[in-house]
Chain A
Amino acid sequence: MARIVLTDHLNRFIDVQHFDVQGTTLQEILNAAFLKHPSLKSYVVDDQGNLRKHIMVFIDNMLLTDRENLSDIVQPSSEIYIMQALSGG
């Protein structure tokens, strides 16, 4: 299972810091994360399900490459950090 780690700023709104989910792409991982923690969804994606403009996602210390389709590959051992960009604040 891949591990999702949330920025401290999200801990203000969602009472969880990290949790494990299954998936082989970032889209699958996020879908699983939103199923597990429904309140997380609107903080990370917009009305159309697109990654919010000022959200950054790192997969194993690499910034995601496909913001549009979230097709970046995730390994079972991956760590996925959901962070806020320094823009947009």
Chain B
Amino acid sequence: MADRLWVATRKGLFRIDRNKDTWRINPPSFLGDPVSYVLQDPRDGIVYAALDLGHFGVKLHRSSDAGAHWEEITTPAYPKTEPEEKGASLTLLWCLAAGIIDQPGQLWAGTIPGGLFRSDNRGDSWVLNNALWNLPERKEWQGGGYDEPGIHSICIDPQNGACITIGVSIGGVWHSHNGGESWQPRGNGLRAAYVPPELSKINHFQDAHAIRSAATDPDTLWCQHHNGIFVSKNGGEKWTELLNVAPSVFGFALAVHPHHPDTAWFVPAVKDETRVPVNARLVVNRTRDGGKTFESLSKGLPEKQCYDLVYRHGLDVDKTGLQLAMGSTTGNLWISENSGENWQEIATHLPPIYAVHFSE
């Protein structure tokens, strides 16, 4: 199992290391700065930290020694336009994804206000994916939570790095089979309850909160949507909604077992009006049969008076599929070493947690 966890928070980046039977929380990097995302590239071990400096914009840092030293590197930037065109500007670096094993140094970045960027040199330079940015539908993407739309999920086929699926809040699901040269909508079967009924099936109105795939079966995709849970067995060609999932189908976080694509975890909450655990009791929902049935796991999690929300990058599973980490907006952090059956409280006073990421 992974022995290291990165935790990106409102007030810095924490490295948490296994120390025999306990976990040690190291002093943070970037103390005081919001860290919107963290990625440790499994191919070369380099760690990337995306900062959201309130006054001074988005910044990106890189470390080749597990966070002992950091260097600021190029941040993705939107092309400069003529003043009258009101060009886009980077608001948030919302997610990062490493390319596949035979694409060393290739990274993808999902951003607000909706641009997808690629780097082929470990973040030394970035290029906006124009094919996606210039889609006519992109102009109808909407903000979901944030004021502007953003890409929060990037799923890359480990066997074919040219096959990429992304999730956009709010802009639907999009797939490229040619490394981003062209994009096709992949929202068939998704349903948006927050638009007029005649528009509810349109892909770019879908608010996919998170999209994840299994490393060993990229055709199985899971989606935690704003108003439901969906699964696809054919790479998003067709989604099936999973109904009657207790205690709620609303949520943000989602993790998929790397070797068993029918196993996935969700963190349910009361839907958008309140966004807190149902009955103030935190549970993790798990399915092991592709969504036919779900069980609510709660051993070690708060049973009452709990108002923690787990954001869409706040749940991760390691490469064994046994170990999970979960961090909340209230600064609580839990780890399970048995697939979610039992949870150990690791920290209770961290800053609000945006993302957790196991180092592999």
Q: Which residues of A are interface residues toward B (Cβ below 8 A)? A: 9-10, 13, 39, 42-44, 46-50, 52, 54-55, 84-85, 88-89
Contact = CB atoms under 8 A, between A and B. Distances in A.
B10 to A, nearest CB: 11
12 contacts: A9-B55, A39-B72, A42-B57, A42-B59, A44-B56, A46-B90, A47-B88, A48-B78, A48-B83, A48-B88, A50-B89, A85-B55
A88 B78 contact: no
B80 interface: yes
B54 interface: yes
B305 interface: no
A49 B54 CA distance: 17
Contacts of B79: 47
B55 A46 contact: no
Given A48-B81, A50-B89, A84-B55, 15 more contacts: A10-B56, A42-B57, A42-B59, A43-B53, A46-B57, A46-B90, A47-B79, A47-B80, A47-B89, A48-B89, A49-B80, A52-B57, A55-B55, A55-B56, A84-B56
A55 B87 CA distance: 19
Residue among A13, A48, A49 with most chain B CB within 10 A: A48
Nearest to B58: A42
Interface string B44-66: 00000000011111010000000
A48 B56 contact: no
B75 interface: yes
A42 B78 CA distance: 12
Residue among B54, B56, B80, B86 with most chain A CB within 10 A: B56
Nearest to A83: B55
A44 B57 CA distance: 8
B56 A43 contact: yes
B340 to A, nearest CB: 37
A54 B54 CA distance: 8
Nearest to A46: B89
Interface of B: 53-57, 59, 72, 75, 77-81, 83, 86-90
Nearest to A13: B56
A48 B59 CA distance: 16
A83 B53 CA distance: 14
Contact of B78 (A44, A47, A85): A47
B301 to A, nearest CB: 33
A52 B87 contact: no
Contacts of B72: 13, 39
Residue among B55, B78, B89 with most chain A CB within 10 A: B55
A89 B89 contact: no
A48 B87 contact: yes
A2 B53 CA distance: 28
A55 B53 CA distance: 12
Nearest to A69: B83
B319 to A, nearest CB: 35
A38 to B, nearest CB: 12
A54 B248 CA distance: 39
A85 B86 CA distance: 23
B55 A47 contact: no
A47 B57 CA distance: 10
Nearest to B78: A47
Contacts of B88: 47-48
Residue among A52, A55, A85 with most chain B CB within 10 A: A52
B127 to A, nearest CB: 14
Contacts of A46: 57, 89-90
Contacts of A48: 78, 80-81, 83, 86-89
Contacts of B57: 42-43, 46, 52
A88 B57 CA distance: 10
